[in-house]
Amino acid sequence: MILHENPAVVKRCQDIAAEWLKKTGLELKPSKTRITHTLSVPEGTPGFDFLGFHIRQYPVGKTKSGKDCRGRWHGFKTHIQPSKIAIQRHVDKLRKIIDSHKHAEQEELIDALNPVSIGWTHYDAHVVSAKVFQGLGNILHRMLCAWAVYRHPNKTKHWHTRKYWRVDEGRGWIFQPPNGAPQLYRHEHTPIRRHVQGQGSRSPYDGDWVYWSSRVGRHPDVSPRVARLLKRQQGRCRACELFFTDGDVMEVDHMIPHIRGGTEASHNLQLLHRHCHAAKTAREIGVHGMDDNHHGAEEPDERKRSRPVLEPSRDGDIPA
């Protein structure tokens, strides 16, 4: 991809790239080579497809336009969304999976569909994809309805729904077996998370592992578990909601403690400041009592009837 404001420069770069590729026995594919503008073109449609995305700009007013570094209005808004070719390719893959599982159990079909849906939506979750995800969810629902009709052609629509769909509170109808097995992952369940530009003074080599762990979920100077928790919590403490800073003492906390049946699963872990963790532990001990293995401080003869300490007599003298 070659970007420049002057079309003549782009055309010259295209010729140079073609000459360089010719020496290696390669050439530019005409169907994938195009010189265009992202905002307006004399003929055809502006914008272009790149790596499964369609990039285009639309003219907008001042209320929706951004500004450049000098405070001048751009006059346009950039939209990056999944390309029509990528969407159709994904739909064809889902249809192929469903066709190959016409006689399989529902659990096997869900296990085959979920990795494809999760991977595709997470790749496009940082661009304008909400309406695309909603449309793909509807398409997949219709394909699954056709799958159910193929398996039971003499049954009614309500019978198919009772057998293959469950009602999940707040999430509508979910394609799931009746025995509580894993449910189908719908495209629209993937949240849209905008890409946040890195701060200008930041560098992966500046030693600020808190910032980079919160951003990318990994850092060579921190354990993978802590880095994942920092990214999931977006760099904030779950108790006080304040950002972690370099030098803060952080501790991994179990939302449900071990003494109450808590596990080491990721959904049961959270990252807290040390003082927030201590306060949470104190509240839990106060509500649920001490652990059986807790060794509290106690006077050695506190619960004995006879004590070695001699008490004074009535006249104030200590007996011999």
304 lies in some domain: no
Same domain, 73 and 91: no
315 in a structural domain = no
Identify whether 257 is part of a domain.
yes
Is 299 part of a structural domain of the chain?
no
At 282-304, the pLDDT tens digits run: 888 775 555 545 554 444 554 44
Q: In this predicted model, what pLDDT tens digit does every residue of 221-238 receive, in sequence order?
A: 678 888 888 888 888 888
Does the residue 305 lie in any domain? no
Domain match, 26 and 96 both: no
- Within this chain, do residues 165 and 180 fall inside the same structural domain, yes or no? yes
Give residue-wise pLDDT tens across range 124-175. Answer: 998 999 999 999 999 999 999 999 999 999 999 999 988 998 887 666 788 9
Instruction: Say yes or no to pLDDT of 98 above 60.
Output: yes
Residue 186: pLDDT above 60?
A: yes
In single-letter form, the type of residue at position 261 comes to G
Instruction: For residues 253-262, give the mean pLDDT.
Output: 85
Residues 185, 89 share a domain: yes
Count up the domains in the chain and report the number: 4
Q: Does residue 104 fall inside a structural domain?
A: yes
The answer to whether residue 310 sits within a structural domain is no
pTM, two decimal places: 0.64
Tell me what the pLDDT averaged over the chain comes to.
Answer: 82
Residues 64 and 135 in one domain: no
Q: Is the residue at 185 inside a domain? A: yes
- Are residue 122 and residue 149 in the same domain, yes or no? yes
CB distance 160 to 152 below 8 Å: yes
Per mean pLDDT, which range of 79-88, 170-179, 254-263 is the poorest?
170-179
pLDDT band at 256 (very low <50, low <70, confident <90, very high): confident
Residues 148 and 59 in one domain: no
Is 137 within 8 Å of 186 (Cβ atoms)? yes
Domain that holds residue 57: 38-82
Of 47, 137, 114, nearest in space to 83 by CA:
47
Q: Are residues 54 and 128 in the same domain?
A: no
In this prediction, residue 119 carries a pLDDT of: 93
